[in-house]
Amino acid sequence: MLLSLLVVTALAVIRLRDLFAVVMLFGIYSLLSASLFVVLDAVDVAFTEAAVGAGVATVFMLGTLALTTSREKTPSTHKPLLPLLAVLVTGAALIYGTSDIPPYGDPGNPIHHHVAPRYLEDSADEIGIPNVVSSVLASYRSYDTLGETTVVFTAAIGVLLLIGGARRRRSEEPPRPDHEEDA
């Protein structure tokens, strides 16, 4: 059901030209994604998706709409190749950058030789949470998770203060004359 709602929301976003409605649908999409992550027992990912995707990103997009227009401009008739080239080059760079990553699930990977075995073996008994990732983030690394959340919150408040200060300064500026008087 959640996947069906995600598809319907994505199709609605593609079809709409009213940017305010698109921003609201993106917020709904993020909340649906967070709900899906909860169903999949990835509560930590759901928390991040709800906070960043539905919360902070929606506020930033609404702030951007307040400074611009809420209607999408009609697309130009010609299709420039520069954006496509930029996407292809970026995609190729990302694929090249992942070429030396160890294979997924290989027991010889360095990540499997540190604290991961202890977390996998002992977290259910020590913490009582069936999802190992949630137990690591909520208990073993809870201060780190709290710190990351604090950093994201502080960054959001800082950006909102900067946007508010810029808008306030712009409204306090005296109006400029349309033309200069000849002396």
Predicted confidence at residue 9, as pLDDT, reads 93
**pTM, rounded to two decimals:** 0.52
Predicted confidence at residue 178, as pLDDT, reads 55
Predicted confidence at residue 8, as pLDDT, reads 94
- For the chain, the straight-line distance linking the first and the last C-alpha, in angstroms and rounded, comes to 73
Instruction: Evaluate whether 25 touches 9 at the Cβ level (below 8 Å).
Output: yes
**pLDDT < 50 positions in the chain:** 182-183
Instruction: Evaluate whether 152 touches 51 at the Cβ level (below 8 Å).
Output: yes
Domains present along the chain, CATH in parentheses: 2-72+113-172 (1.20.120)
Instruction: Evaluate whether 24 touches 70 at the Cβ level (below 8 Å).
Output: no
Structure tokens at 41: 């027992």
Instruction: Evaluate whether 134 touches 41 at the Cβ level (below 8 Å).
Output: yes
